[in-house]
Structure 1
Amino acid sequence: MFIPLHDANRLKHIRAQYVTLGLIAANCLVYLMTALASEQVIEATVIGLGYIPATFFDNVMRPPHLMYVPDNATYITYSFLHGDLLHLGGNMLFLWVFGDNVEDALGHVKFLFFYLACAAAGAFLHGVMEPYSHAPLIGASGAVAGIVAAYLMLHPRVKIWVLAFGRIPLRLPAWILLALWIAFQFAMIALDRDGQVSWAAHVGGILAGALLVLVLRRRGVPLFDREVVTPQAVEVAATAQPADVPSPWGRRR
């Protein structure tokens, strides 16, 4: 639907989004390690660390030599595996644009818990919807969907630069973009039951993110922030004198 590019939502409680950056680095490192391996190693990693619903709902056992972690741990480990660069890049871009402000609202430790809990919720709902599936679920989409839901509840009026349909630059309020994105995930559960994307994992992450942000946010952090924030380049161009306009290649968040 759209590719997020930039928001101007400044951090208020933390100096930097250390957990967000660490999660991006971890996902990229895992992908790099698996991408450089042989097909046999990649397949073994996906089976050993991916989430397989049938192992929980249908009494199916993984091959003993691929039991790298206990089955319960795959509720988390699956979210650090990605099928290709497009899969990885899309999830990490959403995490980069929206994760920092959710981390700011929750704090570092709570945000890490939030991220992993949303990933687990995504896997759980996927398993409920496809209990007999032997196909491993991989990807950070469930966790990222939780972040999108939390961002929508925290900062609906922030304006975001996006590429609509991958090519049309637009600056729109978060509530329009993210509400449409969330509605699309729910609709696709019914419309694309046999596709390659687990829409249920997305919805599981969305539901968990919307609930967890209610209880995990810092004391005093409001929901549905009424502040209208526009991307910095637009704001400066509209208000500053010509001599005060910074270089477009200057400091970025």
Structure 2
Amino acid sequence: MVIPVHDVNPTRRTPYVTYTLIAVNVAVFLFMPGLAGSVAGDSGLAQACRLQAFLDQYAAVPQELIHQQLPRLVPTGETGVGPQGPGCVVGPPDYDKSPPLSVLSAMFLHGGWLHLLGNMLFLLVFGNNIEDRLGHVRFALFYLVCGYAATYGYALLNAGSADPLIGASGAIAGVLGAYLVLYPKARVWVLVPFLIFLPLRLPAWLVLGFWFALQAVYSAGEGVANAGTVAYAAHVVGFVAGMLIAWPLRPGTPPPPEPRGLLFGRRARHSW
């Protein structure tokens, strides 16, 4: 797996929506019970119960999305001792949950620091150019549409699952799909793990095509979509949705500049 760190594709305007999405994702993560606090070593049963209750309320659940069936009993966030020992207390939900709106909230939840930072890195590297091409408002709508398409696509393939689906990966996969369509020849600086991390400048079609191929292969044998596993099918659906939406924009998209005289991490001056 390669790690993108910078693309050679300058923008004309400041990507305010991309920066806002990153800021909101980080802020929400910091307020999630049981995840951000785990850095300090708080990983007990009480933390797990609070997290489970939080995800049941705000994460997207395939069974709820497809069948509109809400559970009669959910974790309350409290701990107790039952016949089988300590565990999470369950009871009737004390909240009203809208499954379609849970897709939106789930797009800003992450299962850990690596999950969050990986998603935000891809959004930072590739999102600015898609926002530059679409404009701020259309990019925000594009991001949401891809996220909804990815979540419902996964739910259709796992209609009986009651496991929570969280993360911005589906929406960001749509950004990657659009980038592949609009800027396939743009050069991307990546770190390739081979004994050490080797910096290479590769065309976007190779970087993103390889990423998509991996998601497609992994999706054939994926597990459930809770905080400890990866919903690869959602990535595939989001990526394809982004490609389809961006395809009509190809003729009017200016190509990226030729990467001449480039230094790692910055763009050298040219006399065009």
TM bucket, shorter chain:
0.7 to 0.9
Q: Contact 1:8–1:231 at 8 Å: present in 2 too?
A: no
Q: Contact 1:7–1:230 at 8 Å: present in 2 too?
A: no
Q: TM-score, normalised by structure 1?
A: 0.83
* 99, 107, 122: which one aligns with 1:79: 107
* 211, 216, 222: which one aligns with 2:253: 222
RMSD: 2.6
Deviations 1:134-177 (A, max 9, x none): 10000111011100111111111111111123822211111111
Deviations 1:99-135 (A, max 9, x none): 0000000000000011111111110111011110010
Deviations 1:29-66 (A, max 9, x none): 00000134944332222111111011133453145636
* 152, 160, 164: which one aligns with 2:180: 152
Instruction: Give aligned-pair identity as a percent.
Output: 38
1:202 is matched with which residue?
A: 235
| Residues 19 and 66 of structure 1: CA distance in aligned 2, closer, same or farther (over 3 Å) | farther
Secondary structure in 2 matching 1:7: strand
Greater share of residues in helix: 1
* Equivalent residue pairs, number: 234
| Residues 236 and 87 of structure 1: CA distance in aligned 2, closer, same or farther (over 3 Å) | closer
Larger Rg: 2
Q: Contact 1:119–1:140 at 8 Å: present in 2 too?
A: yes
1:248 is matched with which residue?
A: none
Matches within 5 A, 1:210-249: 210-215=243-248, 217=249, 221-222=252-253, 225=255, 227-229=257-259, 232-233=262-263
2:60 is matched with which residue?
A: 51
Unmatched segments (≥5 aa) in structure 1? 241-253
Are residues 1:125 and 2:153 paired? yes
Secondary structure in 1 matching 2:263: helix
Letter in 2 for 1:228: E
- TM superposition shift of 1:233: 2.3
Q: Contact 1:48–1:66 at 8 Å: present in 2 too?
A: no
- TM superposition shift of 1:232: 4.5
| Residues 173 and 58 of structure 1: CA distance in aligned 2, closer, same or farther (over 3 Å) | same
- Mapped to 2, the partners of 1:168 and 1:59 lie a distance apart of 48
Q: TM-score, normalised by structure 2?
A: 0.78
| Residues 230 and 51 of structure 1: CA distance in aligned 2, closer, same or farther (over 3 Å) | farther
Q: Contact 2:11–2:128 at 8 Å: present in 1 too?
A: yes
Matches within 5 A, 1:6-155: 6-12=6-12, 14=13, 16-34=14-32, 35-36=36-37, 38-58=47-67, 60-62=69-71, 63=74, 65=93, 67=95, 69-155=97-183
- Mapped to 1, the partners of 2:94 and 2:244 lie a distance apart of 35
- Mapped to 1, the partners of 2:94 and 2:223 lie a distance apart of 27
Q: Contact 1:158–1:230 at 8 Å: present in 2 too?
A: no
1:193 is matched with which residue?
A: 222
| Residues 229 and 153 of structure 1: CA distance in aligned 2, closer, same or farther (over 3 Å) | farther
Letter in 2 for 1:204: V
1:172 is matched with which residue?
A: 202
Q: Contact 2:4–2:189 at 8 Å: present in 1 too?
A: yes
Greater share of residues in strand: 2
- TM superposition shift of 1:204: 1.2
Secondary structure in 2 matching 1:165: strand
- TM superposition shift of 1:230: 5.9
1:251 is matched with which residue?
A: none
- Mapped to 1, the partners of 2:10 and 2:55 lie a distance apart of 37
